[in-house]
Each structure stands twice: as C-alpha cells, then as structure tokens.
C-alpha cells in the first residue's frame, strides 16, 4: 500500500548574520502580530513548554521554535548584544499567519543591508519559504514560487476577499512576489486589490462575485502608509493623472472570473503589468475596464464578456486573445477603446486575436494615433473595426481575415471610419460563406478621412473593382494584379484617387509579349483584321479618359502602331516600312457592349499582335 506523505518539517531553525555565519547567541523575539506584546513560542510540537522570550540561539545559531497554530506572530531577530526589547534588530517579519512551525533560516540575504534571512514554515502538506525581502513561498512539489493564501475558503462558501488582501499586503510589504492560492472555488464579495510587484496566480481557481452586475473582482491598488489602498478612483490634478499612485508589474494570471460586475478594474495599471491565461465568463458585465494604463499587456485570455479600455490606452499590447460574444444581432461591442474625458489611444497594438459573434468587434470612440490592428480573425461580426468622428491618424489595419459569414445572414462592413488620416488599410483577406455579403469593404467617405493608403488584395484576372469601396477623394486606392500564366505574367498596378474611379495613373511595370493576348483584353486575329475588345468603359461617344496604346504586328510584314485616343477620336502612327513598305494597317474605335473596341484592318494575313493599352 502506498503511503500518503508530506515533506518533513525542519526540526530546528538555524539563523545567520548578514555574512551567512551562524548567529551564535542571537536572540529571537516572538510577539503578537502587529504589536510589541510578547507571545509564547514552544520547545516542541506538544505546545506544552514555552520557550524563553527571547529564544537564545546556540553556538550553531540554532533553536527549536514552534508556533501556536491559532495565532499570528511578529518575529524579530537580533544579535547577542541587543537589548530586550530589541533596539538594533537584524530583521523583523510581521503578520506570520497562524499555522506552521518557524523552521531553519535557510540562507542570508547578502544583498539586504539588514542581513535578512529566509524563514521556513511548515503547515500540513505545504512547505513554504518566507523571505524578508520578497516574502515568497516555494511550492517544492511544483517548483514554482508562491505565497499561499492562509485561511481562504476554497469551497466557495465564505467570502475570502479579506484573506487574499491580507496575503497580498504581506507580500507587498516585503517587496513583492507571487500570491498563489490552492486550487479551488473562492468567493469574493469585495475587490481583491493588486498593487505593484505582485503576481496574483489564480491557476486552478474559480472566482465568484456576488452575482452579475454586483461587485468588481480585482482593483488596482497601492500600499500607502502600510495599508493596501484602492486607487481606481484616483484621477489626480491633470488629464494625465499627475500626482496619483500607479501600479507597475502588477500581474494576474490563470483562473476563471465569473458572476460579478467587472473582472479586472485596472486603473493606472502600467509598465510591465499584464493579465493573461484568464477565462472571463459571460456572467461578468465587463471582462475588464482599464483606464490611464500605459504599457499594459493583455494576452492569451478567453473573453466571453465585453472589454473596455479608456483614457490613455498607450503602448498597450492586446495579443492572442479569443473574444467571444453573444451573437451578431445582440448589439454588443467586443473591445471598446474609448475615453472617460481624459485621453485617447496612442501607439497600441491589437494583433492575432479572434473576434466572434459581435455586432461590432472593435470600436474606437476616442482620439487615437499610431495603432496597429493586424493578423486578427473576424467571424460572425457585422462590423469589424469602427471609428467615430474623433481625430486619429497613423493606423495600420492589414493582414486580417475579415469574413462575411453571419449566423443570421446579412451584410458585413469590415472597416468604417468617420475620421482617419495618414493611415494604411489593407491588404486584408475577405471571404464569404455564400449566405452573407459585404455591404462595403471599406467606408472612409467623410471630409475627415483623407491621406490614407488603401491597398486591395492581389487580383489574378480582374480589373479594379470599386463597387465595394466607399472612399472619399484625397485617399489613394491601390490595386495589384497579374497572373502566373503566360498571358498575364507581369504584375499590374492601378492607383485610384477615390472610389469614384478617379484614376490618376495606371500602368504596367513591364510587359510580357504574348502573341494575340493582352491583359484584360479580348484579342481576335482573323485574316487581315484584328479586333481588341478593351476593358476601358465607353458610352455612345466613346471614353472621356485619355488613353494610349502600342502594338507590334508581325507577319509577312512587321508593323509598329502607337498612339492616343479620347472619346472615339484616335491619333496614331504606323512604321510601315520595317520589312517591305506598303500602305500599312489602319485603326478605328467603336463602342462594343459598353467598352472600347479597337479594330485594325490591313494587317498581314496569318500574323500575330502583341502590346498594351492603358488609361493615362
């Protein structure tokens, strides 16, 4: 039969000075936590014989010190020369929780000017190491650094918020570290507070609030005068929050947050702070609401409730999250970037996320600059990225998969901005399930949208299609095309001034001559007559665009024809004497099915033609 075992406690405690030498004759004072009232420790596990107080260490710096499991302690370590009460302690550790025996000081902290040593605690199945500088615990069975939450009810029956806050405060007062409760179900009926240099590791834990829309679960905080203080209402004396506290390297990882108002209320959650690998349930009003948070990283979360980020969403990375909504007809926004009246969004990145089942996936209702939206996946969302009339510039929205596949079939608009300048949009990938359609790919059609570069996906066979673009003048639309077949081997590039088709230049970079084939034209060579049905739109009077062409006609005689045309008027020249002279071919223009038809007569019988036609 296999025995159930725990790690053996250290039977004696060994203390060292700041140089790591045994603290011979040193004194260990034990007090009631938070006081200067002496409190007994004991010589053995029976708890029947009190130690002297202070305990005097032997020549090896050792003593047997056992603590009452029902009490909390303050422990003071002093050299042999110190007085009673101590006036020159080496270190003091307060709020050592009930439960556990004070074990050997495992190592001196050479970097600590007070010579603080590590203190080991043993409690049931847990062996933990407390450090005066960092106040952390080492979970030996997992090899991870943790500080267990003493006294928290992991069945979820009793409110454990105060227990978590006590563990966080102890850790913060000692310089920071990781607080990790045992896996289980916990109830928080008031916010657990997250200050700087604390990692709250909720792996294996489910956190319940008082019900959807009731209390928030996590608030940012600061330790002020030894007190853990909520800072989510501190807005300071300026729009930038001058004079307020902030959190640096405050981190939340793992766990399930549910049945509450806001999962994480992060105010001034800055510089090196993150939350990741969290499951935000759909029983939260909001997964998170952050404000004045600079340099925040939000990664690898599953997000079943809307998220809001406001007021200086700066240098923020939102990466690799799965945003899941209630459906595209539920009038919900997955990620709202907004303002509470203090600021906008600057130099942030929204990359490699999935957005599913929202009316609007990402909405900007604030000023913003230099934002990257790239590599995201949008599915069953009516609107993918939307911006209101606040000024913004320097956006880059590209390489996203923007699907039209609504569960309730309808029309999708991937990108709409009422104000946007000097930004890059596209190429993005568009696909439809056949039941849903695109109302427009991009809508930037106000006087506040200009100077943007819109690049459409590469097209193998078709010309520029502006029917799904609603773009104001002052924006550049770029189409690239071509093919890997012989007829269309070289790429084409077509820039347009707006979706009204204002073409300011269209050209091929190079031309690959293929007999009787031209890009986007239908060429017929029959006897001595050649017809070229072009892609240039024509009315009864021809085209109002200025166009050019150049052809090589090869046969028994070789000709070069080049010229210009507008409406149905054409001017051209023929080099008719390359090989043998003669009258040479002639050309006329007509409208055929709404496109310019070029007809050449007098060509060499059985010959071939190569060349190009373009709009100028």
pLDDT band at 1 (very low <50, low <70, confident <90, very high): low
pLDDT band at 490 (very low <50, low <70, confident <90, very high): low
Q: Is the pLDDT of residue 613 over 70?
A: yes
pLDDT of 136: 35
Domain ranges (residues) in the chain: 13-133, 143-238+246-305, 327-512, 522-615
Give the Cα separation of 515 and 252 in Å (integer).
67
Query: What are the tens digits of pLDDT across the range 514-560?
Result: 889 887 789 999 999 999 999 899 999 999 888 999 999 988 888 88
pLDDT over threshold 90, residue 502: no
pLDDT digits (tens, 9 = 90+) for 418-427: 999 999 999 9
For 98, the 3-state DSSP assignment is coil
Which CATH architecture is the domain 13-133 placed in?
Beta Complex (2.170)
pLDDT of residue 485: 62
Report whether 42 contacts 56 (CB < 8 A). Answer: no
Would you call 194 exposed, middle or buried from its count of C-beta atoms within 10 A (0-12, 13-18, 19+)?
buried
Asked whether the predicted pLDDT for residue 275 surpasses 90, the reply is yes
Same fold? 13-133, 522-615: no
What is the pLDDT of the chain when averaged over all its residues? 85
Q: What is the largest CA-CA distance in the chain?
A: 128
Confidence at residue 390, expressed as pLDDT on a 0 to 100 scale: 96
Measured at the alpha carbon of residue 378, what is the angle toward residues 207 and 329, in degrees to the nearest 5?
Answer: 75
| Class of 522-615 in CATH | mainly beta
In this predicted model, what pLDDT tens digit does every residue of 352-407 receive, in sequence order? 999 999 999 999 999 999 999 999 999 999 999 999 999 999 999 999 999 999 99
Q: What are phi and psi of 487, to 5 degrees?
A: -75, -30
In this structure, what DSSP letter does residue 113 have? T
Mean pLDDT of 220-249: 84
| Poorest-pLDDT segment among 112-121, 284-293, 591-600 | 112-121
pLDDT at residue 129, as a whole number = 33
At 273 the pLDDT is 97
Greater pLDDT, 146 or 132: 146
pLDDT for res 463: 61
User: Which band of pLDDT confidence, cut at 50, 70 and 90, is reported for residue 105?
Assistant: very low
Sheet holding 27-32, edge to edge: 55-56, 27-32, 73-78, 91-96
* Backbone φ, ψ for residue 46 (5° rounding): -75, -20
Confidence band for 127, pLDDT divided at 50, 70 and 90? very low
């Amino acid at each position: 039969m296999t025995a159930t075992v725990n790690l053996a406690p250290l039977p004696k405690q060994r203390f060292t000075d700041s140089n790591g030498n045994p603290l011979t004759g040193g004194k260990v004072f034990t007090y009631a936590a938070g006081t200067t009232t002496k409190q007994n420790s004991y010589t053995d596990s029976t708890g029947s014989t009190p130690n002297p107080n202070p305990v005097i260490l032997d020549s090896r710096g050792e003593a047997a010190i056992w603590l009452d499991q029902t009490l909390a302690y303050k422990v003071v370590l002093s050299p042999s020369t110190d007085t009673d009460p101590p006036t020159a302690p080496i270190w003091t550790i307060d709020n050592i929780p009930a439960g556990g025996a004070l074990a050997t000081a495992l190592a001196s902290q050479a970097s600590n000017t007070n010579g603080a040593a590590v203190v080991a605690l043993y409690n049931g199945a847990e062996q933990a190491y407390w450090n005066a500088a960092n106040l952390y615990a080492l979970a030996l069975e997992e090899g991870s650094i943790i500080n267990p939450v003493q006294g928290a009810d992991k069945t979820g029956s009793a409110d454990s918020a105060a227990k978590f806050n006590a563990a966080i405060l102890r850790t913060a007062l000692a310089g920071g570290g990781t607080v990790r409760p045992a896996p289980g179900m916990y109830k928080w009926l008031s916010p657990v507070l997250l200050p700087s240099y604390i990692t709250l590791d909720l792996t294996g834990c489910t956190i319940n609030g008082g019900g959807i829309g009731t209390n928030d679960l996590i608030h940012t905080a600061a330790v002020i005068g030894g007190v853990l203080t909520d800072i989510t209402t501190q807005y300071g004396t300026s729009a930038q929050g001058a004079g307020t506290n902030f959190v640096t390297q405050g981190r939340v990882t793992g766990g399930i947050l549910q049945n509450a108002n806001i999962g994480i209320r992060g105010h001034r959650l800055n510089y090196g702070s993150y939350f990741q690998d969290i499951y935000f349930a759909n029983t939260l009003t909001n997964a998170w609401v952050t404000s004045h948070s600079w340099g925040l990283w939000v990664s690898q979360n599953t997000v079943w409730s809307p998220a809001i980020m406001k007021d200086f969403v700066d240098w923020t990375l939102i990466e690799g999250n799965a945003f899941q909504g209630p459906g595209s007809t539920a009038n919900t926004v997955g990620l709202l970037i907004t303002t509470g009246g203090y600021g906008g969004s600057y130099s942030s990145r929204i990359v490699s996320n999935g957005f599913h089942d929202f009316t609007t996936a990402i909405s900007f209702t604030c000023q913003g600059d230099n934002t990257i939206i790239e590599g995201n996946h949008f599915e069953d969302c009516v609107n993918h990225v939307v911006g209101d009339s606040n000024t913004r510039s320097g956006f880059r929205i590209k390489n996203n998969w923007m699907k039209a596949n609504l569960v309730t079939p309808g029309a999708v608009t991937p990108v709409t901005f009422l104000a946007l300048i000097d930004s890059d949009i596209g190429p993005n990938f568009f696909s439809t399930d056949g039941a849903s359609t695109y109302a427009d790919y991009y809508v930037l059609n106000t006087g506040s949208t200009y100077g943007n570069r819109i690049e459409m996906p590469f097209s193998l066979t078709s010309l520029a299609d502006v029917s799904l673009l609603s773009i104001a003048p002052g924006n550049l639309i770029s189409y690239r095309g071509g093919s890997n077949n012989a007829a269309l081997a070289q790429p084409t590039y077509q820039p347009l001034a707006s979706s009204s088709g204002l073409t300011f230049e269209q050209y091929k970079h190079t031309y690959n001559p293929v007999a009787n084939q031209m890009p986007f034209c239908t060429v017929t060579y029959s006897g001595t007559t050649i017809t070229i049905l072009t892609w240039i739109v024509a009315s009864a009077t021809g085209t109002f665009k200025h166009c050019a062409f150049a052809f090589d006609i090869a046969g028994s005689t070789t000709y070069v024809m080049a010229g210009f045309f507008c409406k149905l008027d054409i001017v051209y020249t023929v080099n008719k004497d390359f090989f043998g002279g003669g009258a040479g071919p002639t050309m006329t223009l007509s409208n055929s099915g709404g496109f310019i038809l070029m007809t050449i007569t007098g060509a060499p019988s059985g010959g071939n033609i190569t060349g190009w036609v373009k709009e100028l």
